[in-house]
Amino acid sequence: MTYEFLWFEGLPFPVWGYNIEDIKETCTKFVIKDEDTIIVTYPKSGTRWLREILCLIHSKGYTKWIQSVPIWKCSSWLETRQGCKFLNESERQRLLTSHLPFHLFPKSLFTSKAKVVYIMRNPKDVLVSGYYLWTTLKLTKKPESFKQYFKWFIQGNVPYGSWFEHIHGWMSMRDRENVLLLSYEDLQKDPRSTIEKICQFVGKKLNPEELDSVLENSSFHVMKQNKMSNYEILPENLITKHVSMTRKGICGDWKNHFTVAQAETFHKVYQEKMAGFPKDLFPWE
């Protein structure tokens, strides 16, 4: 079966698990509460990694929750009906996840004190990671080749639209007190300090053993074994067996995939679209 995209307000969404009415309802009516913590990412930027870290911080390093409950229940998708249902049923403090671009995000956020953690990643690695996911996940339109996916990504014809627009929108919030901006690259380089920063931001004090547990249990090799976060428990009609949400987990994999011409094209587009930002805001070259 071939899937296309689901379109809402000019933005492509995956087909499975989504419908226009739910997305519309979330974007226009969802009420964000002051005590919510919201993970916002462009797909393939380290969403599950950050979710695992925040869940572990919330449970003070105890692993029972993340090892017994699917990650999409621990921290549910705002833009899906199922996700909203889990959020409304949750008896814990809510931990929301969303890939929505800034302009579609529920407006109740802007009058709330909810905490937003936005993680960004080198868009070239996002592109490569997305290529592997969308070619193997049976949720959406599939590219026939890397070359084709490269073109779609530059045009913003991929789930959740343009990376450039996503980052532009959310960067406008970066100086707000209730927004923490992180990068996949910094999390790789110094996970302990980044996790400490997150703890401070969400107001959770962890002792050194608890912090060690968060660090260990959110590491790539442990997450790869955790069926609740690596999507191994998704039914086979949605995911091919060999796809893993924890694929390589490295920085710079784009160098193994881009041709010289693609690297030049990307560089040119990047320079044009990101011209207004200070260079040192982003930790990639």
Interface with ligand A3P by CB under 6 A: which residues?
Answer: 41, 43-49, 125, 129, 132, 218-220, 223, 246-249, 253
Q: Which is nearer to ligand A3P, 22 or 125 (CB)?
A: 125
Catalytic residue among 99, 166, 221, 267: 99
- Beta carbon of residue 255, minimum distance to ligand A3P (angstroms, whole number): 12
Catalytic-residue membership of 58: no
Find where tokens 């999409």 sit: 72
What is the Cα–Cα distance from 99 to 77, expressed in whole angstroms?
Answer: 8
Q: Which is nearer to ligand A3P, 84 or 128 (CB)?
A: 128
Q: Which is nearer to ligand A3P, 45 or 183 (CB)?
A: 45
User: Hey, what amino acid is at 46?
Assistant: G
Find where tokens 């045009």 sit: 155
- Beta carbon of residue 258, minimum distance to ligand A3P (angstroms, whole number): 14
What is the Cα–Cα distance from 44 to 151, expressed in whole angstroms?
Answer: 17
Q: Which is nearer to ligand A3P, 50 or 84 (CB)?
A: 50
What is the Cα–Cα distance from 274 to 164, expressed in whole angstroms?
Answer: 8
- Beta carbon of residue 47, minimum distance to ligand A3P (angstroms, whole number): 3
- Beta carbon of residue 181, minimum distance to ligand A3P (angstroms, whole number): 16
- Beta carbon of residue 76, minimum distance to ligand A3P (angstroms, whole number): 15
Q: Which is nearer to ligand A3P, 29 or 189 (CB)?
A: 189
Catalytic residues: 99
